[in-house]
Amino acid sequence: MSIQVADIVFVVDASKSMGPCFDKLRRNLETLMTTMRQARFRPRLGLLTHAAGVSASGPVYDHQFIGGEGHEMMVKLYQHGGQNTRPDDFFTEDPKRFINALSSVKPQGNEDMLLALDIALDFPFGPPAKSRRAVALFTDEPAEDGIDEGKSLEKINALIEKIQTRRIQLFLVTPESRGYEVLSEADKCEWEEVDGGDGLAGFDFKQLLSDMGKSISVATLQSTREKDWQRALFGQDRWSTDRSADDATRHVVLSTGESTTLNTSSGPITNIAVKLKWTKAIDLDLHAFYLTKDGKEHHVSFSNLDAGHGIRLDQDSGVGNTAGANEENLTVQSLNNIDRVLFVTNIYGREHSSDRFANYDGKIQFTTNHGDVIEVPLQAQQKGNWCVLSLLNNSNQNTPSVKSVNKVVNVDPNIHDY
């Protein structure tokens, strides 16, 4: 028997919770390679990790491929209808190259996995008469969740048609979801249901990758020419550069009520830069109400720039209701003695504002010494004098977190209420 080619693309949810999946996929990849080689196949591995966030201009997507990341790779995939796409930019026979690309990704943000699947379906697979084709999708969130709140579900039937037209064998590892249940109706699709929200921590990757290899190796080659298919069902072939994340936009954006854990895997956090930014003509002031481990309360503001414990405010901005690039900065130098910090903005010189906080084009941004960048937009729709923006919770020093609160109050906030 001659050696045959198998093109296998891994589509991996790279949102914040998916660290366990990344680790297990790296550790067990050789199981798939061994199974395929024993069946006299030459596997070519493709990769697409996918995370999503929002910016002032709309959704932002963070993509990692074998050959690179972001907008440059999207151009390589879609320019000139994909006619000049180089397979080596998207596939590799070297498992170390695959693992290195996967290891370069830091899980963060949100997801939109049906969009990610569509991008993978447009990869430059080998001809169906000479190679097996497979896509394996891994996520711990239902298709109905994610950054677009389920709007991608409108494309499921078109995705199924595309999968079948391209003769791709689909493997799904996802939680229970009506969307994925419908998607699993594609010909020869194999669906493994898992627990949601835990990054597939309890899933048996070794067994899955072994079974995948066996299933792909017995699939039937197609001798007829591939029919035309519809590329870029979500319009990603027309994306501008601001739709793809770069170093400036690769960060977590929290909607009201959402929270995220800060990275401490490289050691304790020794610096958090906290920045309040707004453009509208109003004088916002940044305040920090905080609780130390001994149970005492403290308050940092423009009238008391440093209350001790390594928390300090730099300046007062927007004085006189000045419009433009207003910015106030606060530094948290250490969390060692800090239990919780409530970050609040107050409108100077008014008892109540005639406008909603959400209309001030404002946000608070946290940047840690470990590279976490977390943004909390000013989203409160109520009118008032104070807006509690976010809570930095260090009550458990092993898992410090930031939460978007966006709550309007008309008296000094009480940190014990949050």
Same domain as 305, residue 324: yes
Residue 86: count other Cβ atoms within 10 Å of its Cβ: 11
Check residue 97 and give its pLDDT: 96
- 243, 270, 305 - which closes a domain: 243
Contact (Cβ atoms closer than 8 angstroms) between residue 332 and residue 285? no
- Residue 84's alpha-carbon distances to 78, 234, 275, in angstroms, are 9, 21, 44
In the structure encoding, which two tokens stand for residue 238, read together? 């027309």
Q: Which residue is it, tokens 């928390």?
A: 311
Q: Which of 16-30, 154-168, 281-295, 306-320 shows the lowest per-residue confidence on average (mean pLDDT)?
A: 306-320
Q: Sheet of 311-313: strands edge to edge?
A: 252-253, 373-377, 363-368, 272-278, 326-332, 311-313
Tens of pLDDT, residue by residue over 44-76, are 999 999 988 766 567 889 999 999 999 999 999
CA atoms within 13 Å, Cβ hemisphere of 269 = 29
pLDDT of 222 strictly over 50: yes
Residue 185 half-sphere exposure, CB side, CA atoms within 13 Å?
11
pLDDT band at 223; cut points 50, 70, 90: low
Domain co-membership, 168 together with 258: no
What is the rounded (10 degree) CA torsion for 196, 117, 232, 42?
170
126 and 258 both lie in a single domain:
no
Condensed to tens digits (0 to 9), the pLDDT of residues 225-266 reads: 788 999 999 999 999 988 887 766 667 778 888 888 887 876
- Say yes or no: 59 and 159 in one domain: yes
* CA separation for the pair 352, 337 (Å, rounded): 35
Within its chain, how far is the Cα of 403 from the centroid?
16
pLDDT of 9 reads 98
> Which residues, in sequence order, are CB contacts of 351 under 8 Å at separation 6+?
385, 410
Q: Is the Cβ–Cβ distance between 386 and 413 less than 8 Å?
A: yes
109 vs 408: which has the higher pLDDT: 408
Both 218 and 121 in one domain: the answer is: yes
Residues 217 and 295 in one domain: no
| pLDDT computed for residue 411 by the predictor | 86
Report the length, in residues, of the chain: 418
* Phi/psi at 51 (5° precision): -130, 160
- Nearest-Å Rg of the Cα atoms of the chain is 24
* CATH code, 386: 2.60.60.30
- CA dist., res. 124 & res. 354, Å (int): 56
The SS3 of residue 362 is coil
Better pLDDT: 67 or 306: 67
Which pLDDT value is given to residue 107?
Answer: 82
**Do 210 and 268 belong together in one domain?**
no
Residues 394, 281 share a domain: yes
Structural domain ending residue among the three candidates 243, 274, 289: 243
Question: For a pLDDT cut of 90, what percent of the chain falls above it?
Answer: 58
Q: Which has more pLDDT, 128 or 351?
A: 128
Domain containing residue 222: 4-243
End-to-end CA gap in the chain? 67
Rounded Cα gap, residues 387 and 225, in angstroms: 62
Say if residue 212 is in the same domain as residue 291: no
How many alpha carbons fall within 13 Å on the CB side of residue 41?
26
Nearest to 21 by CA among 6, 10, 9: 10
Number of domains in the chain: 2
Is the domain of 56 the same as that of 138?
yes
- pLDDT for res 352: 47
CATH of the domain at 82: 3.40.50.410
pTM of the shown model: 0.68
- 195 and 235 fall within a common domain: yes
Q: In angstroms, how far apart are the furthest CA atoms of the chain?
A: 83
Whether residues 18 and 85 fall in one domain: yes
State the Cα–Cα distance between residues 269 and 111, nearest whole angstrom: 27
Which of 243, 276, 307 is the last residue in one of the domains?
243
- List residues bridging with 288 in a β-sheet: 300, 343
